[in-house]
Amino acid sequence: MVHALPLPPSLWAATARPAPETPPLDASRQADVAIVGAGYSGLAAALQLAQAGISVVVLEAGEPGWGASGRNGGQVIPGLKHDPDELVAMFGTEAGEHLVRVAGGAPAVVFDLIARHRIECEARRCGWIQPAFAAADVAATTRRAEQWQRRGAAITVLDRDSVRRLTGSPVYHGGWIDRRAGSVQPLSYARGLARAAQKAGALVCGGSRVTALTRDGARWKLTTGHGATVAAERVLLATNGYTDALWPRLRQTVIAANSFQVATRRLPDKVLRTVLPQGHVASDTRKLLLYYRLHQGRLIMGGRGPFREPAGPRDYRHLETVIGILFPQLKGTRCEFYWSGRVALTRDHVPHMHQPAPGVSAFLGYQGRGVAMATTLGILVAKNLISPADNPLPLPITDIRPIPLHALHRIYATALLQMYRVKDYVRR
C-alpha cells in the first residue's frame, strides 16, 4: 500500500503550475544512479545525469517540491551566509575563490536552466535588497557589498533614503542591492525541473519513501516503504532539512529548523505601489532575519517561529505583527495563507558534501539559501560523477560528523532563538 505525503497548503500550492505525473515506483528496477529526494538538489542532479545518457531513478516520499523546494520564499540569491573574504579565509585562496565564484554565479545557473528548459515559474531577475536593520549593520553590509564589487559583481550600496524608496519601509538604516538575484514561484520551478528531468529520460517516482539502503553485491539496493526496489551503482542523498534515519548519523549533521511564511490578501493597487514598488525581493540583517517579496499582488513575509511544528495561525501572529511594523501602511492587513518548511543549518554555516561509502554521496545544509545553491550543487555533483577530473567539487568532501548533543537540539536551538530575539531588540 502506497501512502504519498499530501502537499501541505500554501500560497505556492494554490498558484503553482500543475504537477507532472510522478507515480510511485511500481516494480523493482535497475539504474546507474538512484537519487533520494526530489527537491532542487535531487532534480537538478537527475536532469544533468539524464541529459548525459545516464539512467536515473529519483525516489521521493511526497511529490517533487514537497520539501523546502516547494515552500520557500522563492528568492534566488547569490552567495552563502559567509562573506566572500570569510570563505577565502576558511578554505584558502584557490578553493575559497572557487567557492565564491560558484556561489556568486548560482542565480545565473538557475535562470539559464529555466530559460533553456522553458520552465514556467514566473522567473524574474529583479534583484535582491539586503536592508540594514540596525545602524551598526550598515558597516557590515557596505563591507559585504565592497567584497562582491571587487570581484566584479553587479552590486550597489544603498543609503537610507534609497532603501526606504525601494522597499517602501521606513525602518532601515541603509543596505545594498545585488542585481544578480531574482525570484521564482518555487513550487512551479521544482515541478518544471521534474518535468525537464523526465523529458531527458529520468524516472521520477513520488510516494516512494526509501526505508532501507543496503549493499547488494556491486550495487546499492534502495527499498521503498511499499516494497519496490531500485538497484543502482551510485546513490545521491539529496534530502536536506528532511533527512531521516536512512543513512546513519546524517540527520544529526544538521539542525532542521522551521521557517515560517504568511501571505496577505491581495493588496489594493494604491497600497501595492508603496511596497517594494520595483518588485525587488528582500531579506534583512536581523539575527532572526525577515524575508519578504510580492507575489500576484500579495505581500509574503517570512521568518523564524517556534522551533516545533506550527500548530495553527497563532504561531504565525508575530509575522502578521511585523508586517505592520515594517510597512505601517499595511497595519491590520489580513493574511490568507500560512505555511512553513524546514531549512538545514550546519555548524559552520556552509553546505556539506559527504561520500560515506563507495558509490554514496550526500550534499546538504544550505542555511535557507538553497534555491540557487541546491540547484547548482545538484548540477555540480552530477557533473563530477560523470567526469570527476574536469569537474572539481566546490566544497571539500568531509566525514559525517554529528553536531554534539544533537538529541538536545530543540532545547538549545530554542534558547538560541530567544537570545537572538533579545539581541535584535537591543540592537534596534
Ligand X SMILES: Cc1cc2nc3c(=O)[nH]c(=O)nc-3n(C[C@H](O)[C@H](O)[C@H](O)COP(=O)(O)OP(=O)(O)OC[C@H]3O[C@@H](n4cnc5c(N)ncnc54)[C@H](O)[C@@H]3O)c2cc1C
Residues that bind ligand X in the complex, under the rule CB under 6 A: 36-42, 59-62, 66-69, 71-75, 77, 209-210, 238-242, 244, 246, 259, 261, 291, 302, 340-343, 366, 368-372, 374
- Rounded Cα distance between 364 and 347, Å, is 12
CA neighbor of 196 nearest in space, from 346, 407, 47: 47
* Residue 231: burial class (beta carbons within 10 Å; 0-12, 13-18, 19+): middle
Q: Of 200 and 254, which has the nearer Cβ to ligand X?
A: 254
Whole-number minimum distance, CB 92 to ligand X, in Å?
A: 26
Whole-number minimum distance, CB 293 to ligand X, in Å?
A: 8
* Residue 306: burial class (beta carbons within 10 Å; 0-12, 13-18, 19+): middle
Beta bridge partners of 394: none
* Residue 374: burial class (beta carbons within 10 Å; 0-12, 13-18, 19+): buried
Please report where in the chains the cell 564589487 appears, as a residue: 149
- Rounded Cα distance between 107 and 343, Å, is 19
Whole-number minimum distance, CB 322 to ligand X, in Å?
A: 15
Q: Of 72 and 141, which has the nearer Cβ to ligand X?
A: 72
Q: Of 135 and 397, which has the nearer Cβ to ligand X?
A: 397
Please report where in the chains the cell 551510485 appears, as a residue: 234
Whole-number minimum distance, CB 302 to ligand X, in Å?
A: 6
Q: Of 47 and 238, which has the nearer Cβ to ligand X?
A: 238
Q: Of 174 and 302, which has the nearer Cβ to ligand X?
A: 302
Q: Of 147 and 208, which has the nearer Cβ to ligand X?
A: 208
Mind spelling out the 3-state secondary structure of 17-67? CCCCCCCCCCCCEEEEEEEECCCHHHHHHHHHHHHCCCCEEEECCCCCCCC
Q: Of 316 and 327, which has the nearer Cβ to ligand X?
A: 316
Q: Of 12 and 176, which has the nearer Cβ to ligand X?
A: 12
Whole-number minimum distance, CB 244 to ligand X, in Å?
A: 5
Whether residue 380 contacts residue 99, with contact meaning beta carbons closer than 8 Å, is answered with no
Beta bridge partners of 260: 303, 340
- Rounded Cα distance between 401 and 404, Å, is 9
- For residue 47, what are the contacts with CB-CB under 8 A and spacing of at least 6? 113, 117, 193, 196, 197, 200, 202, 379
Whole-number minimum distance, CB 153 to ligand X, in Å?
A: 17
Q: Of 25 and 138, which has the nearer Cβ to ligand X?
A: 25
Whole-number minimum distance, CB 76 to ligand X, in Å?
A: 7
Residue with the closest Cβ to ligand X? 370
Whole-number minimum distance, CB 320 to ligand X, in Å?
A: 16
Cα torsion 242, 246, 251, 257 to 10°: value is: 20
Whole-number minimum distance, CB 426 to ligand X, in Å?
A: 26
